[in-house]
Amino acid sequence: MTTVEDATALLHPPVKRSILDRPRSTTGAWSWFTTVDHKKIAIMYGATAMFFFLVGGIEALMIRLQLAQPNGTILSAARYNEFFTMHGTTMVFLMGMPLAAAFGNYFLPLMIGARDVAFPRLNMFGYWVFLLGGAFIYSSFVLGGAPDGGWFGYAPLTSTPMSQGFLPGRGADFWAVGLIMLGIGSVATAVNFIVTALNMRAPGMTMMKMPVFVWMMLVVAFLTLFAMPPLTAALIQVFMDRNFHTNFFNAAAGGDPLLYQNLFWIFGHPEVYILILPGMAIVSEILPVFSRKPLFGYSVVVFSGIAIGFLGWGVWAHHMFATGIGPIATSAFSLSTMLIAIPTGVKIFNWLATVWGGSVRLRTPMLFALGFIAQFTIGGLSGVLHSIVPADTQQTDTYFVVAHFHYVLFGGLVFAIFGGIYYWYPKIFGKLLNEKLGKLNFWLMVIGFNLTFFPMHFLGMEGEPRRTYTYPNGMGWGTLNLMATIGAFIIAAGVAVFLVNVIFTAIRGERAPEDPWDARTLEWLTSSPPPEYNFAEIPVVTARDEFWHRKYTEDDEGRLVKLPPSDASRIPARHDPSEPHGIHMPSPSYWPFVVALGLPIIGYGFVFKLWWLLAIGVVILLFGINAWTSEPATEETH
């Protein structure tokens, strides 16, 4: 701090610099490490999650190679267990949830006309916990063996102590501790999204004027908030049983493994809604734009989303129909499960009604969104079949279930994610992904996906069990399994085309216009990519689909009339260099990283019972929290 500015020094007292000067830069490679900008954080979430998608995909390909023929020898039983466990764990916790966080992070603030989320540093902390947590779990591969008890980790398989247990190695410890860690990050982000959506909307944006995307992310945040604690509790109990000889799930002492299943699925069922609602959110934004019609039945769609959020808490034991909980319990949960199909179905009809009669443009985002509707519906239908207890008693633990959840999670969520990527790519990166490659990507994935998973309905009906590393000759399952494996590699080809598209676009893609899709929501009212502060002037909202209403009105016969461009609809230039006076954005910071770093250190301390390491982790955590809370969100840089 120079002493030249005496007057300003009086008004802005000199900031005492601590050991590490607070980073200031918002450009350059290093700025990505210390950023608190929701857009940068979103890109990091997205890129890391796509990386894990590829890793999980490779795990899937290995599984399919092993199962392509009877008596496969590609993977041993032990290795197979690791692969299917990590495939599930990766796709759920390291791909699905983080990609939702990516889209939510980028677009929640923009869609409500805000400059950032409520707690920018907490946002960054959430990302680091995700990255470090994922690395922590994967480090197990070289530290004694990866988790191998399934992504759901049932006790007593996972809860018996290592010395006398059913599973070799510390995989289950890595799994339990790693998921607790990831849960902390998820809850932090959930709190952030809730406060942002409730408190930081632009003037005039009432709750019922928020885009459906924002509503769904809000429901997801509440679900996350309430679903992670039961999981954390169950994982602590597993860890304690394994390492401290407690008896939570030790039947010999009076414990009950079924308690684990209850606690896990109290988390697990809301979790599947946490996974799918962001997909529904994305699709609800894409369909209206590419049909040039507003979403049909906005209020109904919003309330259905909320209803799913509530009802999702009453269905969990439908994962336990074959565990002997008795006819009273199974009937009750069967009914509640059937009930939840109603709001889900309502949404599907609303999406169809949105497209019906619209001026439909079948561009790549729209193709993925339509694929979502078709495939998610199929998955939903097999789900309704599961809700019938006698039927489920046969279907459970067979490939029928595998077919069901891949239809909703891959055919549904992943397709929606790809749709979202193609839709919002120009906004985030300023370039449109290549349309021809996009369509190729789509068709390869549709064909590959259905070839892989549709046969599994039949395999399940014929009794092929899940989670089993091989099957014998003579069961008649070989042909369909081979088909599924071929399908998996076609999916891989589709994903490869996507990667080629990304690289091609980076090198030779053309600049996109600012509003390439003639879209409806506020994120399109700023440049592509948006400046750090999002909007030079926070827009005043008077209607749902505010941006659309600034571009168009309707004549007396209800036909669309394009309005002359005005200040209200003008999108500012891409590289607006000057930061408008008076906007103070939150400053970059190291501390979210430092605090996050404490967590895996504590984690290794717990897993390897190195209490000194645990202590170091706690010290780092506390040191970081102290420094974080001592610095202001926005540093004066005068």
Partner 1 sequence: MAQTEISPVEPETLVPFEEDHARQTNTGVSNNKLAIWVFIASESLFFGAFLATYFLYRGRDAQFLKGPTPSQLLNIPFTSVTSFMLLMSSLSMVLALAAIQRGDHRRFRIWLLATVIFGMSFIGGQVYEFTEFYREGLHLSTNMFGTTFYVLTGLHGTHVVVGIVWLMSIWIRSMQGKIGAERHEAVEIAGLYWHFVDVVWIVIFTAVYLIPQH
Partner 2 sequence: MSESETPGTAIAVADDSTGREVAVANAHVAVGEEFHGHPTPRQYVLIAVVLVVVTGVEIAVSYLNTGHTNLVIVALFLMAALKFALVCAWYMHMRTDQPFFRRVFVTGILLACFVYGIVLLVFSSTVLKS
Binding footprint of partner 2 on the chain (CB under 8 A): 118-122, 198, 201, 203-207, 209, 226, 230, 256, 258-259, 262-263, 266, 313-314, 316-317, 325-329, 541, 586, 629, 631-633
Name the DSSP class of 204.
T
Q: Whole-number minimum distance, CB 367 to partner 1, in Å?
A: 37
Q: How far is CA 608 from CA 170, 479, 604, 612, 624, in A?
A: 9, 45, 6, 11, 24
Q: Can residue 2 be called a binding residue for partner 1 (CB under 8 A)?
A: no
Burial zone of 389 (CB within 10 Å; 0-12 exposed, 13-18 middle, 19+ buried):
middle
Round to whole Å and give the CA distance between 527 and 148: 47
538 binds, among partner 1, partner 2, none (CB under 5 to 8 A by kind): partner 1
Question: Could you tell me which residues come within 8 angstroms of residue 582 by beta carbon, excluding any fewer than 6 positions away?
Answer: none
Q: Can residue 204 be called a binding residue for partner 1 (CB under 8 A)?
A: no
Residue type, 59: E
Note the residue count of the chain.
638
Round to whole Å and give the CA distance between 526 and 93: 32
CA dihedral 401, 306, 279, 528 (to 10 degrees): -170
Per-residue contact string for residues 168-187; x = within reach of partner 1 by CB under 8 A: -------------------x
Longest CA–CA span in the chain (Å) reads 89
Per-residue contact string for residues 7-36; x = within reach of partner 1 by CB under 8 A: ---xxxxxxx--------------------
The residue among 12 and 570 lying less far from partner 1, judged by its C-beta, is 12
204 binds, among partner 2, partner 1, none (CB under 5 to 8 A by kind): partner 2
Q: Can residue 115 be called a binding residue for partner 1 (CB under 8 A)?
A: yes
3-class secondary-structure state, position 618: helix
CB 15 within 8 A of CB 635: yes
Across the strands, what pairs with 431?
511
317 binds, among partner 2, partner 1, none (CB under 5 to 8 A by kind): partner 2
Q: Applying CB under 8 A, which of residues 56, 57, 96, 120 lies at the interface with partner 1?
A: 120
Q: Is 61 left (phi over 0), alpha (psi -120 to 50) or beta?
A: alpha
Joined tokens for residue 557 = 């016969």
99 binds, among partner 2, partner 1, none (CB under 5 to 8 A by kind): none
3-class secondary-structure state, position 353: helix
3-class secondary-structure state, position 363: coil
Contact stretch for partner 1 (CB under 8 A) within 99-107, 235-243, 422-430, 468-476: 235-243
Q: Whole-number minimum distance, CB 204 to partner 2, in Å?
A: 6
325 binds, among partner 1, partner 2, none (CB under 5 to 8 A by kind): partner 2
Question: Computed from CA positions of residues 411, 417, 420, 426, in that sequence, does the dihedral angle turn out positive or negative?
Answer: negative
245 binds, among partner 1, partner 2, none (CB under 5 to 8 A by kind): partner 1
Name the DSSP class of 398.
B
Q: Whole-number minimum distance, CB 316 to partner 1, in Å?
A: 13
Q: Applying CB under 8 A, which of residues 52, 83, 103, 119 lies at the interface with partner 1?
A: 119
Chain contacts with partner 1 (rule: CB under 8 A): 10-16, 115-116, 118-120, 187, 191-192, 194-195, 198-201, 225-230, 232-234, 236-237, 240, 244-248, 253-256, 259, 263, 538, 582-586, 622, 626, 629-630, 632-634, 636
